[in-house]
Chains A and B, each alone.
Chain A
Amino acid sequence: MKNIRLLTILLTSLFLWYSCDKVEPPYVENGNGGELNSDTVRKVLVEDFTGHTCVNCPQAHKIIEDLQQHYGKQLVAVAIHAGFFAKPKSAPYDYDFRTTEGTALYNLFQVQATPIGMVNRVKQSDGGYLVNKGALASEVSKQLDSLPQKPDLYIHLTPSFNSSDSTLSLAAEITFLEALPSAKYNLCIMVTESDIVKAQKNNDPTIGSTPDIFDYHHKHVLRGMMTPTLGEEILDGTPGNMQVISKSYSNFKFGADWVPKNCRVVAFVYYADGPKKYQIIQAQEVEVATP
């Protein structure tokens, strides 16, 4: 009998030891709202595999939008339309958002279903690189809030758009700010376009009309890449202190229906080999045409 009493007391005290956290409103936290003066801040790339007939995708788009409001310029986003739910179907879903590079990335990272994303292409605990929409926010926080605000390298982009033949030229200057290990470093240049107004399937009534949002503003859609899909090697070895590497690209042809003032260049440097293979070190984003 004594045993039971003792045990019950022990268990009850353990029981009470477990706190339960009842959260009081407001439930949302305030971020920096993007009020950072210098551009030399750590920037993270969030890639979102999505599709215009993917009913769950608008929720992922909203999460990324909320994160952009929270982190401002520190968050660079790209929407990669690929896979089954990005295929053109009957009108109004007959537009083709896909790109060969986007589909190549979809296959490389073994995407099975959308929406699914990647945050700086960091390897996850299950061995893959994919992060589901519910975990995007905490993954971004891990990359931005727990690492120093000063980035390990800085990418300076100078785009030059020729409106007569719709081609884009770009000068990229990468400056290594911190000591980084010996590895192969690759640079990728993407071109994205926002405010493409086309239909999108949706099943969340709190975001918009269901089952279709006919005038959906598609944001940061991957339109193409100025480098090959896996980028171009900029360095093989140990970066020197404050070493600067310059690369230039030219004659990237824009599609006929692209709106240059809505387009941006997204660039990032990542480890092409070693234990941190694919992990992005720093991202950068700049508008194509200055108004």
Chain B
Amino acid sequence: MKKSIVFSVLILTLAISSFTSQESKRTLPSVTVKTLDGKPFDTKNISNDGNPIIISFWATWCKPCIQELTSVSEVYDDWQEETGVKLVAISIDNARTSVKVKPLVNAKEWEYDVYLDENGDFKRAMGVNMVPHTFILNGKGEIVWQHTTFSEGGELDMIDIVRKIKNGEEIK
């Protein structure tokens, strides 16, 4: 009985905090992921010369994720020209479907930095429960925004945040 009370209080506290809290200004953890060439890569090295970074967790079997990345790819050149933003796509496909990542990325002609997180280490370290899950980092590499699920026009919210970062505005 006591256990459930403690647990419910915890959940309530966390629910309230996630509605009201500002992002705790944390930076990326150091986790090893793989490039599309299978080479190990430390996530701490994700950088963009002081420009904003969008990190999007996706999988080849996740339709909304492919929609999100396709919608962004249509305006990516414009975004880059305007804000210098970079999108890093982290695939959580495990050994069953990870072989499909590179062909899919190339066939769709996406220009993103794509990494493979086959065993979910980076996903776990970032607190991702389901995909798509997108984070936006400011010029200092601090996480200032995160969002899960994707719907029509969702990319407009993303570029909005990126523009605010570029203008030095505070993100709530």
Report A-B touching, CB under 8 Å. Answer: no
